[in-house]
Amino acid sequence: MEFAEDTDRIIQGYAQGYFVMADEMGVLGWYSSRQRALIPLDKRFHYPKSLQRILNQQRFSVEINRDFLGVCRGCAKRETTWISPELIKIYHNLYQQGWAYSFETWQGNELAGGILGIAIRGAFIGESMFYQIPDASKVAMVKLVEFLKKRNFVLFDAQLQNSHLERFGAYQVSDRKYKILLQKALAKNCVFGDVEQTLNSKSL
Protein backbone atom coordinates (compact mmCIF):
# COMPACT_ATOMS: atom_id res chain seq x y z
CA MET A 1 0.00 0.00 0.00
CA GLU A 2 1.35 3.40 -0.97
CA PHE A 3 1.48 6.14 1.64
CA ALA A 4 -0.64 8.43 -0.52
CA GLU A 5 -3.53 5.98 -0.48
CA ASP A 6 -4.14 6.21 3.25
CA THR A 7 -4.24 9.77 4.56
CA ASP A 8 -5.85 8.61 7.82
CA ARG A 9 -2.74 6.55 8.52
CA ILE A 10 -0.56 9.57 7.74
CA ILE A 11 -2.44 11.81 10.19
CA GLN A 12 -2.38 9.13 12.88
CA GLY A 13 1.40 8.85 12.45
CA TYR A 14 1.88 12.61 12.86
CA ALA A 15 -0.43 12.57 15.89
CA GLN A 16 1.91 10.02 17.47
CA GLY A 17 4.99 12.18 16.93
CA TYR A 18 6.36 10.85 13.65
CA PHE A 19 6.82 12.51 10.26
CA VAL A 20 7.28 11.28 6.69
CA MET A 21 10.41 11.85 4.62
CA ALA A 22 11.96 10.43 1.47
CA ASP A 23 15.49 9.04 1.62
CA GLU A 24 18.21 9.61 -0.99
CA MET A 25 16.56 7.00 -3.23
CA GLY A 26 13.17 8.67 -2.93
CA VAL A 27 11.75 5.91 -0.71
CA LEU A 28 9.29 7.19 1.88
CA GLY A 29 9.50 6.21 5.53
CA TRP A 30 8.48 7.24 9.02
CA TYR A 31 11.01 9.24 11.05
CA SER A 32 11.33 10.74 14.51
CA SER A 33 14.04 12.74 16.25
CA ARG A 34 15.59 12.62 19.72
CA GLN A 35 15.47 16.42 19.76
CA ARG A 36 12.51 18.29 18.31
CA ALA A 37 12.69 21.95 17.27
CA LEU A 38 9.77 24.14 18.30
CA ILE A 39 8.89 27.70 17.32
CA PRO A 40 7.64 29.52 20.44
CA LEU A 41 4.13 30.92 20.38
CA ASP A 42 4.80 33.26 23.30
CA LYS A 43 7.18 36.11 24.19
CA ARG A 44 10.19 33.93 23.39
CA PHE A 45 9.46 34.33 19.69
CA HIS A 46 11.63 37.03 18.15
CA TYR A 47 13.15 37.98 14.82
CA PRO A 48 16.01 40.12 13.48
CA LYS A 49 15.47 43.87 13.87
CA SER A 50 16.22 44.32 10.17
CA LEU A 51 13.06 42.36 9.41
CA GLN A 52 10.86 44.88 11.20
CA ARG A 53 11.63 47.47 8.53
CA ILE A 54 10.46 45.08 5.82
CA LEU A 55 7.31 44.27 7.77
CA ASN A 56 6.60 47.99 8.17
CA GLN A 57 7.01 48.51 4.42
CA GLN A 58 4.37 45.82 3.77
CA ARG A 59 6.27 44.49 0.77
CA PHE A 60 4.39 41.20 0.85
CA SER A 61 0.77 40.16 1.14
CA VAL A 62 -0.21 36.92 2.88
CA GLU A 63 -2.40 34.19 1.43
CA ILE A 64 -3.35 30.68 2.53
CA ASN A 65 -3.53 27.89 -0.08
CA ARG A 66 -3.59 30.28 -3.02
CA ASP A 67 -0.93 28.13 -4.72
CA PHE A 68 -0.49 25.04 -2.59
CA LEU A 69 1.33 22.99 -5.21
CA GLY A 70 3.55 25.97 -6.02
CA VAL A 71 4.73 26.02 -2.41
CA CYS A 72 5.27 22.25 -2.43
CA ARG A 73 7.40 22.52 -5.56
CA GLY A 74 9.26 25.52 -4.18
CA CYS A 75 10.13 23.61 -1.01
CA ALA A 76 11.30 20.61 -3.06
CA LYS A 77 13.39 22.67 -5.48
CA ARG A 78 16.84 22.43 -3.92
CA GLU A 79 20.03 20.51 -4.52
CA THR A 80 19.27 17.95 -1.82
CA THR A 81 15.62 17.37 -0.94
CA TRP A 82 13.58 14.93 1.09
CA ILE A 83 10.35 16.05 -0.65
CA SER A 84 9.88 13.49 -3.41
CA PRO A 85 7.13 13.58 -6.08
CA GLU A 86 5.27 10.92 -4.09
CA LEU A 87 5.47 13.04 -0.95
CA ILE A 88 4.07 16.03 -2.86
CA LYS A 89 1.17 13.78 -3.85
CA ILE A 90 0.63 12.95 -0.16
CA TYR A 91 0.70 16.64 0.79
CA HIS A 92 -1.80 17.40 -1.96
CA ASN A 93 -4.15 14.67 -0.75
CA LEU A 94 -3.89 16.02 2.80
CA TYR A 95 -4.53 19.52 1.45
CA GLN A 96 -7.66 18.33 -0.34
CA GLN A 97 -8.93 16.85 2.92
CA GLY A 98 -8.17 19.99 4.94
CA TRP A 99 -5.11 18.80 6.84
CA ALA A 100 -2.22 20.41 4.92
CA TYR A 101 -1.77 24.12 4.28
CA SER A 102 0.54 26.53 2.52
CA PHE A 103 1.03 29.85 4.29
CA GLU A 104 2.23 32.09 1.49
CA THR A 105 3.76 35.50 0.88
CA TRP A 106 3.10 37.23 -2.42
CA GLN A 107 4.59 40.26 -4.14
CA GLY A 108 1.93 41.38 -6.56
CA ASN A 109 1.00 38.33 -8.58
CA GLU A 110 4.28 36.52 -7.87
CA LEU A 111 4.57 33.79 -5.25
CA ALA A 112 7.46 35.09 -3.15
CA GLY A 113 7.79 32.36 -0.54
CA GLY A 114 5.90 30.22 1.89
CA ILE A 115 5.70 27.63 4.62
CA LEU A 116 4.23 24.17 4.11
CA GLY A 117 2.67 22.44 7.10
CA ILE A 118 0.07 20.11 8.56
CA ALA A 119 -2.49 21.32 11.10
CA ILE A 120 -3.94 18.81 13.55
CA ARG A 121 -6.20 20.41 16.13
CA GLY A 122 -3.91 22.62 18.28
CA ALA A 123 -0.66 21.56 16.58
CA PHE A 124 0.90 23.01 13.45
CA ILE A 125 3.68 20.83 12.07
CA GLY A 126 5.92 22.77 9.73
CA GLU A 127 7.24 20.56 6.97
CA SER A 128 9.36 22.98 4.95
CA MET A 129 9.71 26.57 3.80
CA PHE A 130 11.16 28.36 0.77
CA TYR A 131 11.55 31.74 -0.83
CA GLN A 132 11.97 33.11 -4.34
CA ILE A 133 12.31 36.72 -3.20
CA PRO A 134 14.65 37.61 -0.29
CA ASP A 135 12.96 37.88 3.13
CA ALA A 136 9.67 36.42 1.87
CA SER A 137 9.89 33.26 3.98
CA LYS A 138 10.94 35.29 7.04
CA VAL A 139 7.84 37.44 6.71
CA ALA A 140 5.78 34.28 6.30
CA MET A 141 7.22 32.96 9.56
CA VAL A 142 6.32 36.12 11.51
CA LYS A 143 2.82 36.28 10.05
CA LEU A 144 2.25 32.55 10.61
CA VAL A 145 3.16 32.84 14.29
CA GLU A 146 0.74 35.77 14.62
CA PHE A 147 -1.94 33.69 12.88
CA LEU A 148 -1.40 30.63 15.11
CA LYS A 149 -1.50 32.75 18.27
CA LYS A 150 -4.79 34.37 17.23
CA ARG A 151 -6.27 30.91 16.68
CA ASN A 152 -4.97 29.69 20.05
CA PHE A 153 -2.66 26.99 18.70
CA VAL A 154 -0.54 25.29 21.36
CA LEU A 155 2.35 23.89 19.33
CA PHE A 156 4.39 24.99 16.31
CA ASP A 157 6.63 22.05 15.47
CA ALA A 158 9.57 22.88 13.19
CA GLN A 159 10.93 19.30 13.44
CA LEU A 160 14.69 19.81 13.06
CA GLN A 161 16.72 22.72 14.42
CA ASN A 162 18.93 24.91 12.22
CA SER A 163 20.61 28.31 12.47
CA HIS A 164 17.83 30.00 10.50
CA LEU A 165 15.14 28.85 12.93
CA GLU A 166 17.27 29.84 15.91
CA ARG A 167 17.02 33.46 14.77
CA PHE A 168 13.27 33.23 15.53
CA GLY A 169 13.78 31.78 18.99
CA ALA A 170 13.39 28.13 18.02
CA TYR A 171 14.41 25.79 20.81
CA GLN A 172 14.74 22.03 21.21
CA VAL A 173 12.96 19.61 23.50
CA SER A 174 13.44 15.89 23.99
CA ASP A 175 11.25 13.45 22.10
CA ARG A 176 9.56 12.52 25.39
CA LYS A 177 8.77 16.17 26.18
CA TYR A 178 7.63 16.76 22.61
CA LYS A 179 5.09 13.95 22.76
CA ILE A 180 3.67 15.33 26.01
CA LEU A 181 3.29 18.78 24.40
CA LEU A 182 1.83 17.21 21.27
CA GLN A 183 -0.88 15.41 23.23
CA LYS A 184 -1.77 18.68 24.97
CA ALA A 185 -2.04 20.34 21.56
CA LEU A 186 -4.20 17.54 20.19
CA ALA A 187 -6.59 18.00 23.10
CA LYS A 188 -7.13 21.64 22.05
CA ASN A 189 -9.87 22.28 19.51
CA CYS A 190 -8.28 24.75 17.05
CA VAL A 191 -9.13 25.35 13.41
CA PHE A 192 -6.50 26.50 10.90
CA GLY A 193 -8.70 26.67 7.82
CA ASP A 194 -12.44 26.78 7.32
CA VAL A 195 -13.12 23.12 8.18
CA GLU A 196 -12.74 21.53 11.59
CA GLN A 197 -11.05 18.13 11.39
CA THR A 198 -11.80 15.22 13.70
CA LEU A 199 -9.04 12.79 14.59
CA ASN A 200 -9.67 9.07 14.58
CA SER A 201 -9.61 8.01 18.23
CA LYS A 202 -6.98 5.37 17.43
CA SER A 203 -4.44 8.13 16.89
CA LEU A 204 -4.74 9.56 20.39
The answer to whether 46 touches 168, Cβ cutoff 8 Å, is yes
**Cα-flanking dihedrals φ and ψ of residue 47, to 5°?**
-150, 160
Reported confidence tier of residue 160, pLDDT bands at 50, 70, 90: confident
What dotted CATH number matches 3-192?
Answer: 3.40.630.70
DSSP alpha helices (H): ranges in 112-162?
Answer: 136-150
For the stretch 41-83, pLDDT in tens is: 999 999 988 999 999 999 999 999 999 999 999 999 987 788 9
Average pLDDT, the chain: 91
| Residue 84 to residue 108: CA distance in whole angstroms | 29
| Residue 183 to residue 59: CA distance in whole angstroms | 37
Model confidence, pTM: 0.91
Residues 158-182 have a mean pLDDT of 94
- In this prediction, residue 1 carries a pLDDT of 42
DSSP code for 28:
E
**Cα three-residue angle 110-118-116, rounded to 5 degrees:** 25
DSSP code for 98:
T
User: Three-class SS of residue 42?
Assistant: coil
For the stretch 99-152, pLDDT in tens is: 999 999 999 999 999 999 999 999 999 999 999 999 999 999 999 999 999 999
Residues 25-38 have a mean pLDDT of 91
